[in-house]
Each structure stands twice: as structure tokens, then as C-alpha cells.
Amino acid sequence: MNTKSVDHLIVGAGFAGLCAAIKLQEDGETDFVVIEKGVDVGGTWRDNTYPGATCDVPSQLYSYSFAAYDWSNSYSPQPEIQDYIKRVAAESGTLDRFVFDTPVDDATWDAGTERWTVTTPNGVWSARFLIVAAGGLSAPKLPEIEGLETFQGDLFHSAQWDHDVDLSGKRVAIIGTGASAIQIIPELQKTLEATGGHLDVYQRTAPWIIPRNDRPYSRLERLALRRLPGLQKLYRTGLYWAHEAYVPAFTIEPKIAAPARKVALKNIEKGIKDPALREKVTPHFAFGCKRVLRSNTYYPALDADNTELVTDRIVKVTGNAVVTDDGVEREVDVLVVATGFYTTELPFTEHITGRTGQTLADRWRETGMAAYKGTTVPEFPNLFMLVGPNTGQGHTSMIFIIESQVAYLRDAIRTMRRDGLTALEPSQADTDRWNRSLQKRMERTVWTTGGCQSWYLDEHGRNTTLWPRSTVDFRRRLSSFDVEAYS
Ligand code: N01
């Protein structure tokens, strides 16, 4: 196979990969390719097509700073977000450099040529820079439940919704009550109620849920947002500061969360009449320890006659039934698992081999998931990870973080060109210092002290996924490339 040579190889065509492509092009860095395993742009928004899929971050924030859109609602539904990403991609003039339907099998640093060799079933590329934008929530995780693989009905993960399965009149069960499940459950409940079907919801841990306050924009608002230059930006800034002022503070000081906790308890009271059910859905851990969810429709859906909330532990799946530890077997035609993603052992890292011959996955098995500024890794020269370790957000838009990381990457490339540098990696000492400081702060946060298990924490209880300060702080720290931290 011929090896194609490019300056930059970007893995992934979601929000992060597309942002990198557009901004590199803006800098005249046009010699790049974007390799994408799926058949379209969109990443998580292409894949998550489950009923009710909507963003729980306001639409004005959950969009690029450089590309406005005529959003229909204050929170955008998945089809609009996917349409937005497709439009931005098409209008950017970068799509001719995207290679779809192409999983990356291997990316190995070649110390001789100081380049990455990237192997795929559709060709081999040699690239000076490897930009990994493969997503932090892109590998669906099935629950470890005995007999699940032998289930005799239809079974699928929330991120791989099987739209060919007709749910009318069926007995459906859903495992999980996280961000995806609480969007799916009201939709399933309505469909099944209208067709004589039934829904079982298996809850392991009750989440904190505040009202969603979603509303359609009026025609006037949409017109104003389209026509008045600066209004969208003003909206963004206002919303942004509203989010930033509150959330990073309460992760450290639980007292500050008390009013929001009250609102969440009121949400239960308002949505559910049955006192026993209210009790079952009341969380027993600190507000904010897991991602705080938003819904007005979830609790009423649980309270509906055709829904049963099951809180007994699942012990196994046999034939077409889910069996709980009270010995009850509930038969079911369709089983939906909304059980989340691999978040602290990112499967894609198995495919990246650095300067010492060790894969990134193996390195992180030893050190825990850790990077310098969430973006670069010692022993992995010229590798930039977008949405890397400790860059995640539980309360605001990841796109702000992505744009900050892309700005850092652009400055790194400019610096290297200016100074005639061919390969750079962060020093171990700077990387350790960065992570020590992060982890020190983590110890005081509600994510560690709040008495819950969440996907934020690794097997040692370390939070390697979230950024513990404000996103403005993150942007400031990545505002210029600090070449002195690199060797
Ligand atoms: O996954 P989750 P998700 N037996 O990990 C349960 C983003 N997102 O797909 O809490 C029984 O949150 C598990 O129970 P427990 C967002 O960042 C964003 O819903 O661990 N139950 C939990 O209830 C979000 O945080 C949007 O006890 C099992 C559920 O499955 C992230 O994606 C929308 C189990 C998993 O919840 C992940 O959300 C949707 C088992 N063996 C998602 N294993 C936006 O709107 C797991 N569970 C932006």
C-alpha cells in the first residue's frame, strides 16, 4: 500500500476534529486529512439518535463561537445539532480532506523520520502531527450482567439505537437512569402508553434532576438572533457567566448547592404523586457528585400507570427475562441498556504507540489517565489530544474547552514552525506538576467527597475526566503555547 504524506492527521470528525480542521485551514495549514470511522461528520451527535436525544446545555452555548445557527429551542434537539455540524462542515470547504468509513488500526511514532505512521484498512498515512479527536464518550459500555449476551429479545445500547425495532405494544425494559436514560424514558413511556405497551425502568442509583426550562424561541427572538449582529454573542456571554459563576464554586463548597438541591427535591414532588415512588427516586449522595441532570418529563413518566421503577439489584438475564435479587423475573421483549461509555480506559488509546514502544493505553494503566494541560503526553511527540484527560465538563459546553485546546494546538504549530522545531513532547516534570495540582484540588470536590460512584472516577477513585476549575481558567492556562514545558 502506498503511504500518503500529510502534515496533520486528525482522528475523528465530531465537534473537536471539525474545529481543528477549520482552524488549521484558517492558518494556511491546509495539508491535513481527517480520518473518521463513521460515514458522516457529527461524532456523538451522529451516533446518539435515541428517542428524546437533546442537548442539556443551552443551544447558544453548545455551538462554535465562530458559527451561528438559527436554533429552534433554548436547548437543541439532536437532529438540529447534527444538521448544524453538517452545515458548518460543508460551508468550511474542508470536507474534501475527510476520509469516512475508515477506522484507525494503528498510529505509531517513528523516531527515525519523526513522524506518525497511521494505518487503516483504506490506506497508510505518514503525518508530522497526530491530532486525536476520537471523543471521550464514544465507546458504548454494556453492563456486566450474567446472561446478557443470551437475551432472546431485541437488545441495544442507547448510543446504538435500533430504529428497525417496532416498540408498539411491547414490553420494554431500560437499564440505567443517567443522562441518556432520563431523556429516553419519557419518550418510551408515551409511545408504549399509546400502544398498550409497558416499561420497566431499572434504577441502580437515583440521580439528581433539576427542571429543564426548555422553550421554543419565538419568531421575533429567532429573527433578532439572526439579524442583529452581536445578539447571539451577548446571549452566549450572559448564559456563559450564569453557568460559570455558580457551578465551579459549589463543587468545592456544598453549601452553595443547597438552593439547587431544593429545586431538585421540588422537581420530584411536582413530578410524582406516589410517596413510595418519591422516596425511591430521592438521591442519597451529595448534589453534584454525579452529573446533575435536567428534565421536566422524567418523573411524570415514572409515575405513569404503564411504567414500573425497579430498584432491586439485577442478578441475571435468562431467556427473555430480567431477574432481580428479590427473585422476581420480569419478561421483556426489548431491552435497552443506557449504561454509559468507557471513560477512564479509552479504547482508542490501545492503537497509539509512542517513542518508547509503549501504547498510550499501557502507559495510562501505569500512571492513570493523565496529560499535560489535558492535551499532550510525555513520550508521545507531536500528539495532541482534544477532549483529553481532565478536560470534561459536567455543567457547561465542551465546545468552549475544544476551542481552547485547538487555540493551544495552533500556537504550538506556529511556534514550532517559527523556531524550526521538528518534534516536541511535554516534560514529565511539568506533566506531573500539572496533574498533582489538579488531583490536589479534586480531593476537595464533591465528585470525590460526595458519596457516589460515577464515570468521572477511575478504578482508584481518581477523577481523571473532569476539569475542576472554571472553563475561563482553562482557556487562560492554554492561551499561549508554553514551549519551555517541552523538550
Ligand atoms: O451514561 P451514565 P449516560 N446495572 O454513565 C447505570 C453525556 N450525555 O449515557 O448510577 C445497572 O451517566 C448507571 O447506574 P449508577 C453526559 O456527559 C450528555 O446516561 O452507576 N445499572 C447509570 O444510571 C453523561 O454524563 C447528554 O448506579 C447500571 C446509567 O447506567 C454521559 O454522556 C445526553 C449498570 C449510566 O449512566 C453519560 O450518560 C446524554 C449495571 N451493571 C449523555 N451499569 C447531553 O445532553 C451502569 N448502570 C449533552
Which residue type, as a one-letter code, is found at position 332?
V
**CA–CA separation, 418 and 410 (whole Å):** 12
Just give the CATH number of 3-139+342-485.
3.50.50.60
| Ligand 1 center to 74 CA (angstroms) | 23
| Per-residue pLDDT tens over the stretch 411-420 | 999 999 999 9
Look at residue 279 in the predicted model and tell me its pLDDT: 98
339 pocket-lining for ligand 1 (C-beta < 6 Å): yes
143 pocket-lining for ligand 1 (C-beta < 6 Å): yes
Smallest CA separation from ligand 1 atom 6, residue: 176
Look at residue 72 in the predicted model and tell me its pLDDT: 95
CA end-to-end span of the chain: 34
* Statement: residue 242 has pLDDT above 90: no
* Statement: residue 295 has pLDDT above 70: yes
185 pocket-lining for ligand 1 (C-beta < 6 Å): no
Query: What SS3 class is residue 384?
Result: strand
| Ligand 1 center to 367 CA (angstroms) | 25
Full-model pTM: 0.97
Cβ neighbours of residue 427 closer than 8 Å, sequence gap 6 or more: 378, 485, 486, 487
208 pocket-lining for ligand 1 (C-beta < 6 Å): no
Element (H, E) at 234: helix 231-252
Q: Where are the beta strands (DSSP E) in 176-279?
A: 198-202, 209-210
The band of 248, judged by pLDDT with boundaries at 50, 70 and 90, is low
| Per-residue pLDDT tens over the stretch 196-207 | 999 999 999 999
Which of 244, 226, 177, 225 has its CA nearest to residue 204? 177
In contact, 110 and 3? CB cutoff 8 Å:
no
| Ligand 1 center to 182 CA (angstroms) | 9
24 pocket-lining for ligand 1 (C-beta < 6 Å): no
The band of 306, judged by pLDDT with boundaries at 50, 70 and 90, is very high
| Per-residue pLDDT tens over the stretch 135-189 | 999 999 999 999 999 999 999 999 999 999 999 999 999 999 999 999 999 999 9
Which residue ranges does the chain devote to CATH 3.50.50.60? 3-139+342-485, 148-207+245-337
Ligand 1 atom closest to residue 291's alpha carbon, by position in its atom list: 25
The band of 353, judged by pLDDT with boundaries at 50, 70 and 90, is very high
From 73, 204, 281, 402, the mutation candidate for ligand 1 (largest count of ligand atoms within 8 A of CB) is 204
| Per-residue pLDDT tens over the stretch 50-71 | 999 999 998 988 999 999 899 9
340 pocket-lining for ligand 1 (C-beta < 6 Å): yes
The band of 240, judged by pLDDT with boundaries at 50, 70 and 90, is confident
Which of 80, 78, 104 has its CA nearest to residue 13? 104
* Statement: residue 250 has pLDDT above 90: no
388 pocket-lining for ligand 1 (C-beta < 6 Å): no
| Per-residue pLDDT tens over the stretch 449-477 | 999 999 999 999 999 999 999 898 999 99
**CA–CA separation, 98 and 32 (whole Å):** 9
Percent of the chain exceeding pLDDT 70 equals 99
Mean pLDDT on 231-253: 77
Look at residue 455 in the predicted model and tell me its pLDDT: 96
**CA–CA separation, 386 and 20 (whole Å):** 9
Strand partners, 353: 108, 359
Cβ neighbours of residue 283 closer than 8 Å, sequence gap 6 or more: 205, 206, 207, 208
* Statement: residue 246 has pLDDT above 70: no
176 pocket-lining for ligand 1 (C-beta < 6 Å): yes
Element (H, E) at 439: helix 428-442
In contact, 18 and 92? CB cutoff 8 Å:
yes
CATH entry, 148-207+245-337, from 3.40.50.620, 3.40.50.720, 3.40.50.970, 3.50.50.60? 3.50.50.60
Which residue shows C-alpha cell 435536567?
Answer: 294
DSSP state of 41: S
Question: Is ipTM > 0.95 here?
Answer: yes
Look at residue 400 in the predicted model and tell me its pLDDT: 94
